[in-house]
Every structure is written in structure tokens, then in C-alpha cells.
Amino acid sequence: MPWKPKRPDDSEVRMSRGKTLWRMIGVGVVSALVSGSLVAGLVRQERTPSVADVDGSMVARLGEGASLHSGELRQRLQALPADSLAAVSANRALLEQWLKERLVERALVNEALARDWAARDTVAAAIRQVTEQLVLQDYLGALSEPPEDYPAETMLQQAYRRAAPELVAPDLYQVQQIFIAVTGNTEQAAAQQRADALAERARRTPQAFADLARAESDNPDIDTGLVPLSQLLPAVRAPLAALSPGDITGPVRSEAGLHVLKLVAREPARQLSLEEVAPQLREALRQQYRRDQITEYVDTLLARTSLNIDGAALTRVMESLR
């Protein structure tokens, strides 16, 4: 290999305040608006199939020109963004619509390939570009891969001290709710009356809030567990922030319906320990190592080769684009 990567003594860890390590991954506000869940995107999911479930059997076919087998289907689903995967997991009709679209795409691709469409100049050029990018990414990834024991413990500690002001877990809230769905304009008044009555009952016997919620809530997910305020529906954040543990508020209106809320517990923000964030810090340092090695390799490549640009030829190309 013409170049040996250098092991740096230190690396900067950059973490924006908008992307704290504590941020939880939701599955989208849309799902929450449909379900009435307090936590944005909280949906119930069925068991994830095990490897044994994926046997390569055909799942769907469109005519004779397109099919999807279980192994490929599982890979495609796993490649979806988290919110999209959650949405199709929770909605069978949406899943089947997504599957139909993939089959139509495959049928069209097969039809085009049968007509030698990949040999067209524009398509061939695009394939070359994509291939070059994939080869480049894999090649640079191999050149810049850090040693398995990188970073050293001392470097990890230094990175933690630098990043400590941003490594803070936010306030955590545990909330219980009684959710009243509002499905149409004609039901708004009745829903409001029901929510007001339930809120009054809850305030009279706050210790029985959970039992009341289990009996009356239109959403069975009555308890959020401890979550950051930012993970809750926007409409309920301000009312909850003003409560003390044990307090009840509402009904609070959201796009989904009405929420009667009880703040069960609140944990104040705290500094995250090195042990808690070590995996993320280690990966950040390894990513910085890769970037540094790629930059150094490119600089070395430029230094040992000559660069010549034909100005006239470049001008002709640019003029041909006008």
C-alpha cells in the first residue's frame, strides 16, 4: 500500500447542542396524532421476526414480471427510516400499499432492462457515477479504518472533558393521561363534556388516576415512563412544565383530541457520566480519525502527482452547456 495511515495523538469531538446524546428516536408525530399517544410517535409493534422466520419464500408477486421474497423484503424494510418502518408496521393497509409500489417499480425496471435500457448513454453514465461512488466509499473506508483499540482510554477521557458541557441529560417527566378522542365536529361538544367530567373526577381522587385512566382513556398507553419533555406532544409540554409531581391538569387540546394529565414524577437534568456516553464518544473519535486519514491521504496524493488543466478545453465544455 503506497500510504500508511498516521495515528493522531488527539481528535476534536464536535457535538451540537441540538443533537445531544440523550435525544430519543421517535417514529414521527403523525402516528401520535392518529393514536392519541402522549409520546410523539409511540405505537405498538408486533414481534420482530427472527432469522428463522425469513426463509426466502415468496411474499408477493405482480404478474410474471416482478416478485419479492421474504429475505429481500426484510432487508428493504430494515433500510427504511425509523418513522416509516414504524408506520408500515402499525398499519397493514399502508404496508400492503408500500409493497405494491415496490412491485410496480420492479416490474417497470424489468420491462426497461428487457428493452436494453441500461445501455442508453444517459443511464450508462449514471450507472458509472454510482459505481464510482460506491467503489470510492468502500476503498476510502478500508484505507481509513482505525485500529480496533482506538481511541486509547486517555484520549476518551480528554474528549469527555471537552464535551462535558453538552453531555447533559434533560429533565425527565413521567406522565399519565386520560385521552378523549375527537373524531368529528359533531362530537366535539360531547368529548369536551366527557373530558371535563373526567378531569373533575381525577382531581377529587388523584391517587386513583391510573385506575380511572385504564377504565376511561381512549388510548391504552396511559403512562409515558420517564421521557424528555421534547419527546411529548407539543400541545402538552407547557402545561406539564408548570406542574409539580402529583398535580393534574387539563383537559389539554391536541390535534388528536383531549388529554387529562397527571405528572407522576420529574427527574432534574444531570451531567451524564463517562461510562454512559463512552460508546458514543468512542464512535465520534473513530469517525474523526477516518476523516483525518482521508484528508491526509488526499493531500498526499495531490502532493505526489501533477495537476494539469487544459483551460481552452474546459472553456469549450462550459460554453457547450449554455
Helix/strand/coil (H/E/C) assignment for every residue in 181-245: ECCCHHHHHHHHHHHHHHHHHHHHCHHHHHHHHHHHCCCCCCEEEEEEHHHECHHHHHHHHCCCC
Q: Residue 280 in contact with residue 156, Cβ under 8 Å?
A: no
The Cα-based distances of 212 to 188, 207, 216 in angstroms read 21, 10, 6
Q: Residue 50 in contact with residue 57, Cβ under 8 Å?
A: no
Say what percent of the chain tops pLDDT 90: 61
Return phi, psi of residue 228, to 5°.
-65, 150
Q: Residue 104 in contact with residue 67, Cβ under 8 Å?
A: no
Q: Is the peptide bond before 151 cis (omega within 30 degrees of 0)?
A: yes
Q: Residue 225 in contact with residue 172, Cβ under 8 Å?
A: no
For residue 321, the 8-state DSSP code is: T
Please check the confidence at residue 20 and state whether its pLDDT lies above 70. Answer: no
CA gap 147, 145 in Å, rounded:
7
For residue 221, the one-letter residue type is: D
Predicted local distance difference test score (pLDDT) of residue 294: 94
* Three-class DSSP category at 216: helix
Other CB atoms within 10 Å distance of the CB of residue 252? 20
Out of 144-158, 276-290, 302-316, pick the least confident. 302-316
* Three-class DSSP category at 228: strand
Please check the confidence at residue 185 and state whether its pLDDT lies above 80. Answer: no
CA gap 50, 90 in Å, rounded:
18
* Three-class DSSP category at 299: helix
Other CB atoms within 10 Å distance of the CB of residue 169? 18
194 burial level (CB within 10 Å; 0-12, 13-18, 19+): middle
Predicted local distance difference test score (pLDDT) of residue 189: 83
Predicted local distance difference test score (pLDDT) of residue 140: 92
Domain at 168-271, CATH class: alpha beta
| Helix, strand, coil percentages in the chain from 3-state DSSP, rounded to 5 | 55, 15, 30
CA gap 239, 322 in Å, rounded:
59
Match 403523525 to its residue by C-alpha cell. 30
The residue among 55 and 46 whose pLDDT is bigger is 55
Average pLDDT for 242-267: 91
C-alpha cell at 97: 400499499
Predicted local distance difference test score (pLDDT) of residue 38: 54
pLDDT tens digit sequence for 62-99: 888 788 888 889 899 999 999 999 999 999 999 999 99
Predicted local distance difference test score (pLDDT) of residue 71: 87
Average pLDDT for 251-279: 92
Q: Give the residue from 79, 89, 101 showing the smallest Cα distance to 35.
A: 89
CA gap 77, 96 in Å, rounded:
12
pTM of the model: 0.54
The residue among 159 and 19 whose pLDDT is bigger is 159
Please check the confidence at residue 284 and state whether its pLDDT lies above 90. Answer: yes
Please check the confidence at residue 187 and state whether its pLDDT lies above 80. Answer: no
Whole-number mean pLDDT of the chain?
82
If pLDDT is split at 50, 70 and 90, which confidence band does 220 have? confident
If pLDDT is split at 50, 70 and 90, which confidence band does 16 have? very low
CA gap 182, 36 in Å, rounded:
10
Average pLDDT for 119-131: 92
Q: Residue 289 in contact with residue 150, Cβ under 8 Å?
A: yes
